Amino acid sequence: MGRPLFYEILEKPATSCIIGICSVIWFYIQKKHIGYQHVGLSYETAVEGHHWRIITSAFSHISVIHLVFNMSALWSLGIVEQLGHLGLGVAYYLQYTLVLIVLSGLVVLGMYHFLIQRFKIEYFRRVTAVGYSCVVFGWMTILSVKQPSSKLDLFGFLSLPISFAPFESLIFTSIIVPQASFLGHLSGIIVGYAIAWGLIHGMTNYWAVSMLGWVAVVFVFSLKRSGAYDFNFLEIESVTDPSLPSVRFIGNGRTLQMSTIPVEGVEIV
């Protein structure tokens, strides 16, 4: 008989929190009848300034099967938190989860841009992606390099050698789930290899907190500028230089200037 779930949760605190967050968001989406087009990431919405969707798309799942598959894989990959002796551990897991969320979103948008501009494939302009799979595939890839002897357990009965799991899962999901985002999953693999091979390195708690702060700033201001949510305490208006917005905090008279931060289908990631 296996160990009680409570002890496993204590050994995987970050993974457990992320699974809890994704589950609560899924429940909220179902309760409020929110569609994928309201939270998902597409090239068209990104061009329109909806940069906040890089974050919301990663944590949103539309179907319960999609949620269960991603969270089952993530739970297995939570072993990263227990590998402090290999230079991994909880801090490493949190730091590079943030990197995976942001960079995989940017990479998939870059792929969309290339296919639209170079090959004129307009399908990728409006296709909308949602799901945490980009991060799941990223951690599969990192673990396949750092700990190739590990196993990836899915649903408690399916076990895959981690060394082949990224590409096995990429092909498997593309065949079994036609709506699965091949490019979204591939972006996670690409960023995962960049991290595992040391091309992206040097993350510390300081840089992670700094990055999180800038992500929060971009999230709030892009949410405000896109009109998706009205923040009553912020007012953004044009000034003498049209390339710069004015940010006024209502009630105290202070004004700041800062540089601007430059549905046809759905894909699940």
Which CATH number does the domain housing residue 52 bear? 1.20.1540
Percent of the chain residues topping a pLDDT of 70: 85
Instruction: Label residue 160 by pLDDT band (50, 70, 90).
Output: confident
Active site residue 185: yes
The rounded mean pLDDT for the chain is 86
Percent of the chain residues topping a pLDDT of 90: 62
pLDDT of residue 269: 77
Residues 59/132, Cβ–Cβ less than 8 Å: yes
Average pLDDT over residues 80-92: 93
Quote the strand ranges of the chain, DSSP E: 127-130, 151-154, 158-161, 234-238, 245-249, 255-257, 265-268
Query: What is the per-residue pLDDT across 107-157, written as a single tens digit (0 to 9) for each?
Result: 999 999 999 999 999 999 999 999 999 999 999 999 999 998 888 877 666
Task: Give the contacts of 9 (CB within 8 A, at least 6 positions apart).
Answer: 16
Which of 141-150, 210-219, 241-250 has the largest mean confidence?
210-219
Q: Rounded to whole angstroms, how far apart are CA atoms 187 and 185?
A: 5
Instruction: Label residue 231 by pLDDT band (50, 70, 90).
Output: low
Count of domains forming the chain: 1
Instruction: Label residue 6 by pLDDT band (50, 70, 90).
Output: confident
pLDDT of residue 234: 54
Q: Is residue 268 part of a domain?
A: no
pLDDT of residue 246: 47
Query: What is the per-residue pLDDT across 34-58, written as a single tens digit (0 to 9) for each?
Result: 999 999 999 999 999 999 999 999 9
Q: Is residue 235 part of a domain?
A: no
In terms of residues, how long is the chain?
A: 269
Q: Which of 16, 57, 133, 169 is catalytic?
A: 133
Q: What are the structure tokens assigned to 132, written together?
A: 């945490």
Q: What are the structure tokens assigned to 165, written together?
A: 């799991």
Please say if the pLDDT value at position 255 is more than 90: no
Active site residue 174: no
Q: Rounded to whole angstroms, how far apart are CA atoms 21 and 207?
A: 23
Q: Is residue 145 part of a domain?
A: yes
Q: Is residue 110 part of a domain?
A: yes
Q: Is residue 221 part of a domain?
A: yes
Q: Tell me the pTM.
A: 0.84
Q: Is residue 115 part of a domain?
A: yes
Q: Is residue 236 part of a domain?
A: no
Pick from 60, 41, 170, 48: nearest CA to 106:
41
Residues 177/265, Cβ–Cβ less than 8 Å: no
- Count CA atoms closer than 13 A to 269's CA, side-chain side: 36
Instruction: Label residue 264 by pLDDT band (50, 70, 90).
Output: low
Q: Which residue has the higher pLDDT, 121 or 179?
A: 121
Q: What are the structure tokens assigned to 143, written together?
A: 């673990």
Average pLDDT over residues 97-102: 98
Q: Is residue 117 part of a domain?
A: yes
Q: Which of 50, 57, 185, 187 is catalytic?
A: 185
Task: Give the contacts of 88 (CB within 8 A, at least 6 positions apart).
Answer: 80, 81, 146
Q: Rounded to whole angstroms, how far apart are CA atoms 166 and 230?
A: 40
Tell me the residue range of the domain where 106 lies: 25-226
Q: Rounded to whole angstroms, how far apart are CA atoms 123 and 173?
A: 20
